[in-house]
Structure formats: C-alpha cells, structure tokens
C-alpha cells in the first residue's frame, strides 16, 4: 500500500488531502514517524525518522497519532481482496503481502491482468492505491513494487531478472543494511550489477553463507515460497524514554515489563523461545544488540533474567534512549529440559497461565509482578510512539 497510515487518514479526513501528513508520535516528544504522506516526503520526511527531525523538516505538516485499530480494519479488507485471487497469500505486514498467482490464469486471465484487477478492486473497495511488482519470485517482485510508487505496477519478465536488478543500488538486496553496504562499498561494489560481476567464491570467503545468498539474490534467484500461514519469526517489545535514561532501576523495571508482555504473547501462541535479544539505542542513536541462546522458555521471569544478564555484561555508562528485548528461535511449548530440572519454573508456568486467563477477562493490568505494581498503568503504544510493541 502507498503511505498506508497517512493515506487512510487523508481518505477519512478531506481537509488533509493534498497536505503533508505525518502519522506518529507527538512532534514535541521523542518517538518516530510511522508513516509520511507523499506530500511530506517531498520535504525529506521518512518512516522511522525521529519525530523531532520530521517536525523541523516539515513544521507545517498535520501530525496525526496512529489509530492502529482502524488501520487493522482496512488491512483486513485488503487481505480479503487478495484472498479472492489466490489461496496463496502471505501477509508480511499490515500493508504488504505476497500473492502467488501460479495456475490462476483460467480464473483471472493471466497474472498481469490479475494484478491490474487487484489494484482496481482495492481502489474500488477502499479508495486507496497500492503499488505492485510482478515477477517470477518474491525477491524480484518486492523490489519491483517499490520502484514506481505511488500507484505503480512494474513487471519483470522471466529471464530478465539480472538485467532488471543490475543498475539498482546494493541496498535493494535483502539483508544489505548500512553495515553490509559499507563493507561492499569498501570492495568497490555500489550497484547490484557490480555485485553480479564480483567472484562468488570471494564473496563466500568474505561473508560466509551470507555471501552465497548475496550472489544468488544479485541475479534475482529466490526459491522461497509464498507461505500463507508462516509463523512469526520473533516477538518483542521496546520503549523509547521521554528523557534519556541513566537509572539502572528504571532500565531493569522496563525490561521486566517487556519480558512479561513477551512471555504472555508466547504463551498465547503456544510457543517457547530459545533466543533472547537485548536492544539498546543510545542518545547519539548508536544501536547495539546482544543475544543469549539457551533452553526454550515462555516464562516472563526467565526472559527477564536473560535480558538483564545481557544488560549487565554491557556495563552501560551512557544515557539510553531506547531499550527493548525480543524472542526468537521458537519451538512448540513444553519442549526442552527446563521443566524437568526446575520445579519453580513449572510452578511459574502454571501461575502464568492462570494470570493470562484473568488478563484476558479483566485486562492486562489485573495482576502484575510486584516489581511493576508501583508503576503507573500505561497504554500499549502504537508504532511511532514511546512504549511500542
């Protein structure tokens, strides 16, 4: 979808049409931009940008707090439209999805005609525009969908993947962020075409298995399937502090709250996580992550202990702007050895399930750990706000 949150607000509020619209945190606060309309993007405003910087770049914009419930309803309408064109639809976010149109020619007259019908139906039903990429695999289709926004449609014919990608910057490749891009540039590689010309074995020696992936993607080779019911790869929570935090007690309490939230979500999905990752962002926006892998757990206290162990190893002396934790490497619940070795863990799991039931019936703040009892209740934040999930 094109500037999804901002476009929904412009659709529902006629006075915002044609104006720069920024959806996110309070412009006087310390959160980030969740979405920016194309009018705001002309001033350099982008998603995930600090909201204060967005306000300086475009002070005359309309700043809107996110309404995630409304965006979720619109998203459900859009996904329902996709479901009528193929049973293979993989939603990757609230405003983006892959759809496999293989074998649907008899129903929709060929993939290109189907994509045009999808775009038209989205406009008809929601009065919003979408951009699409049509290609032989997920990676190339994703890249194509980004090139002619808004309301774009880019088709990459079979056999033309490498030539299509060649002039594009290396950041278009999945897995190439700022650090990887800097390393590739140090090798003289700035475009995907230059990466295509770089020896495969040299990439493998430099980057290991990731080097193999880079080489394959540079030529537009991607065999990953569209997975309609793909499980979550991680669950996490993070908080941006209103004022940079130096207090160890506040950091610990924040982590405990996040750990309880993540544990509850894991139990709700009947999963246990073997890997816990701590994320710290400092006042200068430098960000570090540290991870610990062990026995799978869905226990909030155990998640908290692992996260604080990672925090203690950092010996943090600088003020913290953001702290967060995430869980990954999922397994079905009740696997691993921890329940056999730790009777207290078994008791905590039973207690957690009882409190989960109370929380579902009476609200999340019905029962909380004593360490959090003195905290003022806070609403779960939406993307772009302090206290985000």
Please give the positions annotated as active site: 96
pLDDT over 60 (residue 386): no
Neighbours of 54 (CB within 10 A): 26
Output the average pLDDT for the chain: 87
Global model pTM greater than 0.85 = no
Q: Name the 3-class secondary structure at 367.
A: coil
pLDDT (tens digit per residue) in 198-228 = 999 999 999 888 899 999 999 999 999 998 8
pLDDT score, position 63: 97
pLDDT (tens digit per residue) in 161-181 = 999 999 999 999 988 888 889
Distance between CA 24 and CA 5 in Å, rounded? 9
* Residues 338, 278 contacting (CB under 8 angstroms): no
Tell me what the mean pLDDT of segment 64-73 comes to.
92
Helix axes 68-83, 111-126, angle to 10 degrees: 140
Model confidence band, residue 389 (pLDDT cutoffs 50, 70, 90): very low
pLDDT score, position 126: 97
pLDDT over 70 (residue 338): no
In the chain, domain spans: 4-66, 161-218, 234-372
pLDDT over 60 (residue 388): no
Q: DSSP assignment of 96-155, as one string?
A: EEEE--TT-HHHHSSHHHHHHHHHHHHHHHHS----EEE-SSHHHHHHHHTTT-SS-EEE
Between the ranges 47-51, 89-93, 140-144, 202-206, where is the mean pLDDT highest? 140-144
pLDDT score, position 374: 58
Q: Which of 176, 171, 178, 172 is nearest to 154 (CA)?
A: 172
How far, in whole angstroms, is CA 300 from its chain's centroid? 22
Residue, of 177 and 39, whose pLDDT is higher: 39
Least confident of 97-111, 161-175, 203-217, 363-377: 363-377
Model confidence band, residue 371 (pLDDT cutoffs 50, 70, 90): low
Q: Name the 3-class secondary structure at 331.
A: strand
- Return the sign of the alpha-carbon dihedral for residues 198, 199, 202, 204: positive
Q: What percent of the chain has pLDDT over 70?
A: 85
CATH class of residue range 4-66 = alpha beta
Tell the CATH superfamily of the 234-372 domain.
Answer: DNA polymerase, Y-family, little finger domain (3.30.1490.100)
CATH class of residue range 161-218 = mainly alpha
Tell me what the mean pLDDT of segment 46-64 comes to.
94
Sheet order of strands, 21-24 included: 33-36, 21-24, 62-64
pLDDT score, position 355: 66
pLDDT score, position 269: 83
pLDDT score, position 130: 97
């Amino acid at each position: 979808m094109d500037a999804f949150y901002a476009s929904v607000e412009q659709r529902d509020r006629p006075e915002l049409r044609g104006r720069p619209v920024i959806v996110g945190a309070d412009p006087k606060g310390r959160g980030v931009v969740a979405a920016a309309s194309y009018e705001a993007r002309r001033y350099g405003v982008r998603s995930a940008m600090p909201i204060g910087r967005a306000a300086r770049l475009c002070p005359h914009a309309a700043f809107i707090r996110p309404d995630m419930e409304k965006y979720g309803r619109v998203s459900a309408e859009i996904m329902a439209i996709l479901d009528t064109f193929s049973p293979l639809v993989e939603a990757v976010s609230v405003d983006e999805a892959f759809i496999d149109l293989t074998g649907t020619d008899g129903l929709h007259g060929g993939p290109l005609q189907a994509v045009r019908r999808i775009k038209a139906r989205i406009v008809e039903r929601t009065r919003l525009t979408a951009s699409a990429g049509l290609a032989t695999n997920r990676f190339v289709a994703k890249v194509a969908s980004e090139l002619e926004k808004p309301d774009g449609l880019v088709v990459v014919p079979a056999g033309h993947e490498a030539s299509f990608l060649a002039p594009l910057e290396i950041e278009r490749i999945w897995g190439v962020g700022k650090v990887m891009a800097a390393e590739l540039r140090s090798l003289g590689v700035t475009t995907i075409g230059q990466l295509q010309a770089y020896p495969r074995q040299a990439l493998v020696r430099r980057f290991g298995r990731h080097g193999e992936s880079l080489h394959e993607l540079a030529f537009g080779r991607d065999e990953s399937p569209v997975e309609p019911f793909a499980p979550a790869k991680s669950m996490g929570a993070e908080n941006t502090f209103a004022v940079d935090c130096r207090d160890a007690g506040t950091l610990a309490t924040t982590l405990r709250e996040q750990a309880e939230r993540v544990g509850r979500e894991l139990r709700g999905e009947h999963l246990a996580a073997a890997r816990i990752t701590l994320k710290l962002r400092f006042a200068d926006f430098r960000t570090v992550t540290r991870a610990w892998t062990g026995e799978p757990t869905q226990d909030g206290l155990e998640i908290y202990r692992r996260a604080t162990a990672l925090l203690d190893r950092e010996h943090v002396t600088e003020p913290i702007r953001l702290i967060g934790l995430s869980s990954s490497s999922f397994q079905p619940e009740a696997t691993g050895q921890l329940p056999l070795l730790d009777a207290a863990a078994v008791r905590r799991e039973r207690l957690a399930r009882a409190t989960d039931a109370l929380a579902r019936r009476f609200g999340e703040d019905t029962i909380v750990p004593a360490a959090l009892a003195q905290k003022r209740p806070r609403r779960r934040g939406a993307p772009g706000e302090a206290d985000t999930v």
